[in-house]
């Protein structure tokens, strides 16, 4: 009987690992609470009404169809019985010979209940749709009030967190409002609209070199975004944001991108955790004391030298390929080797004609950075069909200043 490899999580790390085991003499089972794989770098474009969900998400079963030794089950993971070698789910336990934990990350509200209650994260597809619905609903609600103060509150959109997700979301919201929605709402006074980006550090895009941080800040301000640096959010209500130090201002919507931690699966395993609730792993990405259990992606507290590896897609994908090779070795006559991450670079877009990219010692900003960002993301979109549709939507928006999915959708089961 062939060894069974159970991969918990069908994100970039889990799917890459499954594909790398295509020709191995093992049976692969992917398990995820969603039946789709999400191209998260473009989630903010769903949230800002540029792309439909189907353009950045594909069914897992479709993606693994070419893998003859792979199957998929939809289930929520509740824990791991490390000694009994069973993955625990809401549909019952799944036995494994090798386990790969790749369940990703979730928003971290740092124990602040007001942030959890009154902000919207941007980690999954349902949150992206919720953001889109809320932005459009705020504009509709603003047309029903004659109170200028309430209208300004409804039309104040706050993004907390100046990392790549926050910067990209701020740029997208600003362009959606000033290039598209102002044409839909003919009586809209754009002076009543505010897009505010709040960052606790003295700069945005902390992972980038200072020159690119400065270029990103200039681009944000050029797009009419109010950037508040050295500012920490203390509390959020339904209609306001309060900063540490006492400053408070009205806001109708707050998008939270300032904190991230590993998924709850980490705690549920009972394994030792490190910072951000990530599972402590050996250099081989194995759980100490459990050599048949590997952890990859955002869930893995892996180190590169003395630094913790970042929660980035390239890390997850490289780890997925590495662990697949280790499993092949363990299932044969070899063993697991230490993981070494090769940094391909980082990039972020601030919107039309503006992005920053830091690739192997080379730095790009402005239009050139934007072209590089477009090219890289288009190449990596999940399928050829999705690439084609995304390219058409990008071209349409660029030429006609229009976004095709400005609809409020309320799903019911």
Phi, psi for residue 27 in degrees, rounded to 5 = -105, 130
Catalytic residue from among 168, 175, 199, 397: 168
pLDDT for position 306: 77
Tokens of 108: 């971290």
Residue 396 pLDDT class (50, 70, 90 cuts)? confident
Domain boundary among 283, 311, 331: 331
Among 258, 293, 320, residue at a domain's last position:
258
Q: What is the pLDDT of residues 334-390, one digit of tens each?
A: 889 999 999 999 999 999 999 999 998 899 999 999 999 999 998 888 777 788 888
Round to whole Å and give the CA distance between 279 and 290: 12
Are residues 196 and 308 part of one domain?
no
* Tens of pLDDT, residues 13-38: 999 999 999 999 999 999 999 999 99
Based on the structure, what is the number of domains in the chain?
2
d(CA 294, CA 102): 9
Is pLDDT of 238 > 90?
Answer: yes
Q: Judge whether 342 lies within some domain.
A: no
Where among 214, 234, 258 does a domain terminate? 258
Count Cβ atoms within 10 A of the Cβ of residue 404 and give its class: 0-12 exposed, 13-18 middle, 19 or more buried.
Answer: middle
pLDDT band at 206 (very low <50, low <70, confident <90, very high): very high
Condensed to tens digits (0 to 9), the pLDDT of residues 171-187 reads 999 999 999 999 999 98
Return the pLDDT at 110: 93
Domain range enclosing 97: 4-107+260-331
The mean pLDDT of 157-183, rounded to a whole number, is 96
pTM given for the model = 0.93
Q: Is the domain of 138 the same as that of 86?
A: no
> Tell me, what CATH number does 125's domain have?
3.50.50.100
Q: What is the pLDDT of residue 271?
A: 94
Nearest-CA neighbor of 82 among 96, 69, 92, 103? 96
CATH code: domain of residue 73: 3.50.50.60
Q: Are residues 45 and 120 in the same domain?
A: no
> Does residue 395 fall inside a structural domain?
no
CA distance 316 to 138: 37
The b-or-e profile of 13-43 (16+ CB within 10 A means b, else e) is bbbbbbbbbeebebbbbbbbbbebbbbbbbb
The average pLDDT across 90-99 equals 98
* Catalytic residue list contains 244: no
* Element containing residue 374 per DSSP (H, E): helix 366-380
Same domain, 221 and 90: no
């Amino acid at each position: 009987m062939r060894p069974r490899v159970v991969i918990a999580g069908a994100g970039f790390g889990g799917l890459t690992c499954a594909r790398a085991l295509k020709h191995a003499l093992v049976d692969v089972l992917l398990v995820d609470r969603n039946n789709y794989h999400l191209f998260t770098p473009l989630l903010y474009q769903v949230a800002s009404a540029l792309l439909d969900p189907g353009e950045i998400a594909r069914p897992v079963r479709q993606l693994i169809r070419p893998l003859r030794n792979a199957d998929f089950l939809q289930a929520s993971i509740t824990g791991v019985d490390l000694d009994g070698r069973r993955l625990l789910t809401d549909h019952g336990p799944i036995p494994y010979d090798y386990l790969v934990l790749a369940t990703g990350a979730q928003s971290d509200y740092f124990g602040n209940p007001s942030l959890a209650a009154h902000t919207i994260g941007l980690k999954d597809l349902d949150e992206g749709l919720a953001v889109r619905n809320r932005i459009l609903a705020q504009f509709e609600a603003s047309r029903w009030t004659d109170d200028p103060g309430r209208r300004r509150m409804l039309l104040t959109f706050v993004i907390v967190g100046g990392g790549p997700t926050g910067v990209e979301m701020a740029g997208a919201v600003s362009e959606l409002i000033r290039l598209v929605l102002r044409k839909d709402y003919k009586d809209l006074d754009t002076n009543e609209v505010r897009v505010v980006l709040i960052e606790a550090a003295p700069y945005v895009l902390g992972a980038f070199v200072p020159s690119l941080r400065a270029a990103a800040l200039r681009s944000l301000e050029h797009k009419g975004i109010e950037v508040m640096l050295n500012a920490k959010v203390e509390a959020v209500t339904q209609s306001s944001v309060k900063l540490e130090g006492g400053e408070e201002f009205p806001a109708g919507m707050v998008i939270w991108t300032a904190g991230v931690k590993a998924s709850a699966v980490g705690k549920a395993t009972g394994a030792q955790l490190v910072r951000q609730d990530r599972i402590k792993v050996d250099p081989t990405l194995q759980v100490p004391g459990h050599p048949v259990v590997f952890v990859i992606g955002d869930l893995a507290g892996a180190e590169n030298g003395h630094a913790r590896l970042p929660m980035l897609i390239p890390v997850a994908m490289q780890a997925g390929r590495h662990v697949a090779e280790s499993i092949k070795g363990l299932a044969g006559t070899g063993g697991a080797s230490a993981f070494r991450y090769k940094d391909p670079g980082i990039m972020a877009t601030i919107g039309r004609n503006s992005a920053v990219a830091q690739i192997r010692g080379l730095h790009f900003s402005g239009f050139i950075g934007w072209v590089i960002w477009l090219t890289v993301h288009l190449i990596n979109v999940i399928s050829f069909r999705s690439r084609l549709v995304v390219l058409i939507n990008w071209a349409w928006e660029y030429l006609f200043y229009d976004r095709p999915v400005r609809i409020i959708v309320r799903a019911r089961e």
